[in-house]
Structure 1
């Protein structure tokens, strides 16, 4: 009973983390600049400019305008999204509360693979977010003030949540191979 509950919580946490990674990838909120009556929001895919007197105007980036690091950020976050989806599916199918896999010897291996995948998913989203944060902190302050956007914070939180959930799953699958997850909790509680 305890292993099913822990697995359900891990599924919920990894789903929330995956949603955070997708939001981090999609929102144009990686950096924000303020200059007079204009506020510009920059993301991986587009830039939006908002004037105090009018509506917001967004433009999609053209590939030749982007620096090479933005292509790297895009690639890492997309790989993170795909790996997170795959890991979440492995966790769902390998969990004790779903009857998808009948072989009881395969379930701990699937959960271990899901845990490793979630750790890598979190790491792959933290790398571009940290890189962008480092680059923004080293920009000399001229006329334009550059601030961190909401996607940076969402990416950090989602990455940490996924890495912690993956670590918990790896720990529990390791202990389940030596005596089962239920016996692990019955010995501790």
Structure 2
């Protein structure tokens, strides 16, 4: 019989063997960390699809937006034209790598939920630990390409040999990527830290004495 993975399983893991932690506290922590995961997942998808990784101001009105999938041109007259990169000869290496890493990061939570719903795992701690590790890895998957693109933008700005009008600026996507990565890492750290705290026999003794 397949096991249905539900949020209430997370709350039950915050119960110590020697004595339970406050039920309200454990429920709030589980719901809060789950909310962080959902916000991070949505942010990752938006970051992946938004064509604002690099912005180049060609003139006072004309602006070029570079995304992972599209190149957009804004003429400043309420006209925005975008074309996919398959119509361009070359896609920058950092954006090529970011495409793959961001696609993996945005699909990882869905893969986890699908896998857990199709296998029979009786140990809830193993489920939580797997989830914690996955969110930590996903946060790093998102952090690496965002940091790489940011690094290249900073190098381009500091390059005196590059024409000023072609020097890129940071778009909105890297900032959103930083935030989503932080939320993913925080979610994974909360789950992992809670499991380690529950396994500590010192905490069980404290719960029993109280």
TM-score, structure 2 as length reference? 0.74
CA contact (8 A) 2:95 2:149 kept: no
Spell out, residue by residue over 1:106-133, the C-alpha distance to the aligned partner (whole angstroms, 9 max, x if none): 2121111111111111110010000001
Q: 1:58 to 1:172 in 2, by over 3 A?
A: same
- Tell me the equivalent position of 2:164: 143
Equivalent residue, structure 1, for 2:109: 84
The total of aligned residue pairs comes to 175
Aligned twin of 1:97: none
Which whole-Å CA distance do the structure 1 matches of 2:69 and 2:205 have between them?
Answer: 46
Deviation at 1:184, TM superposition (A): 9.7
CA RMSD of aligned residues (A): 2.7
Of the three residues 70, 73, 84, the one matched with 1:60 is 84
Runs (5+) with no aligned partner, structure 2: 1-22
Candidates 196, 200, 205, aligned match of 1:174: 196
Unaligned runs of 5+ in 1: 94-100
**Where does structure 1 differ by over 4 angstroms across 4 or more consecutive aligned residues?**
183-187
Quick one: distance in 2 between partners of 1:143 and 1:6?
49
In the alignment, is residue 49 of structure 1 matched against residue 73 of structure 2? yes
Q: Which has the larger radius of gyration?
A: 2
Cα drift, residue 81 of structure 1: 1.1
